[in-house]
Amino acid sequence: MARTKSARRSPLQQAIALLERVPLVDGHNDLPWVIRQHPEARGDVLRYNLKRVHKESDTDIPRLRQGRVAGQVWAAYVAPALPNPARATLEQIDVILRLEAAHPDVFMPARSAADILRAKKAGRIASIIAVEGGIGLENSLSPLRVWHAAGARLLTLCHNTTLDWVDSATDAPRHNGLTKFGRAVVRELNRLGMMVDCAHVSAKVMHDVLDTSSAPIIFSHSNARTLCSHPRNIPDDVLDRVKGTESLVMATFVPDFVSEEVRAWMKPLREAYNKNLPTGASWIQILAEWEKSHGKRPVATIAGVADHIEYLANRIGARRLGIGSDYFGVPTKPVGLLDVSRFPHLFAELIRRGWSEDNLAGLAGGNFIRLMRAVEREGARLRRTLRPLVGRIEDFDGMSAAG
């Protein structure tokens, strides 16, 4: 009996063929910050020149195409220590808008789930705007609506630092979760139809958001804490609650969120830099110096990422999974996943493990599109009866921004 056509193809060939047919949506990429920090470009998208391969980094148009990326969530990230965070957040959103305007033949602005499918059909990459870190709110609800009007469709509540209203996973807790203002942020995100992202929050905040949000939530770049005990990963008791919702966990490639060995090696380095490591050439230099005194850095692998995906699938179901790479401009990702061209190789690994085409299609982008549609529907429902939430932190928590 002759073998079928798919049986004659290698796992990588099967993966590429799959990603030609279905949209691949990556839930997190920090290219806007890389462009902002680039010593020559300094935030100028045209000067950065995404049309060429940036061998010193991990993301550009040629490799996005090679990786069959059909939708990219760009992070408008603002470092917690940066002055004027409200202004900086708008500047970061502006980088993404200029990226879309500079390359209209490549990127299609995607402000809805339907736009992602339209972009795929047109052979373009859906460009989705996320704000990473609520520090740019400066303790007011009003910027949420401005960000939404500018195209943002996702907010990562905080980054590596606890804010006046939300505890970070990687900082000392101050509020035992979300404050009343933090819950108001979640409710207004629901009303706007923006995704609530718990990638960087403490486990208690994860529970608080699940208690508060009327829409399904997202973890845009996190793994399973049982396999790697980094506090940025999701504990089982939270995963068990996610299983009862239509929420989404997007597995990430960050090595110390993948490998327990890498996490242990990296922990003192992250603490030395107050959890906020630099990017680019300075990070490579720092890493080289650190290896001199702490031994060679262990590595994560593509198999390790697949292990997290399989654990999560078994815990919460394959329909609640996506991929959030967290490429951020430094060549330190797991072996086999060093840049955005390598997504098909991860799918090939899962094909070798026996994953069905339906589950792979959901992981690639189908599950993200489903979640985005659900958030949009809930926002439309809420806006029919609810007025915008207005106020500052003191109106909800009875405290000033200084706490």
The residues that are catalytic are 28, 30, 132, 159, 200, 221, 326
CA atoms within 13 A on the CB side of 17: 12
Compute the distance between CA of residue 365 and CA of residue 358 in angstroms, rounded to an integer: 11
CA atoms within 13 A on the CB side of 133: 27
Compute the distance between CA of residue 201 and CA of residue 198 in angstroms, rounded to an integer: 5
The distance of Cα 139 from the centroid of its chain, to the nearest Å, equals 23
Compute the distance between CA of residue 22 and CA of residue 343 in angstroms, rounded to an integer: 13
Compute the distance between CA of residue 36 and CA of residue 94 in angstroms, rounded to an integer: 11
Compute the distance between CA of residue 248 and CA of residue 344 in angstroms, rounded to an integer: 21
Angle, helix 367-383 to helix 113-122, in steps of 10 degrees: 140
Select from 136, 186, 181, 189 the least CA-distant residue to 161: 136
Contact (CB, 8 A) for 239 and 316: yes
The distance in angstroms from the start CA to the end CA of the chain is 74
Specify the amino acid at residue 12: L
Compute the distance between CA of residue 217 and CA of residue 220 in angstroms, rounded to an integer: 9
Burial of 71 from C-beta contacts in 10 A (0-12 / 13-18 / 19+): buried
Compute the distance between CA of residue 257 and CA of residue 225 in angstroms, rounded to an integer: 8
Burial of 326 from C-beta contacts in 10 A (0-12 / 13-18 / 19+): buried
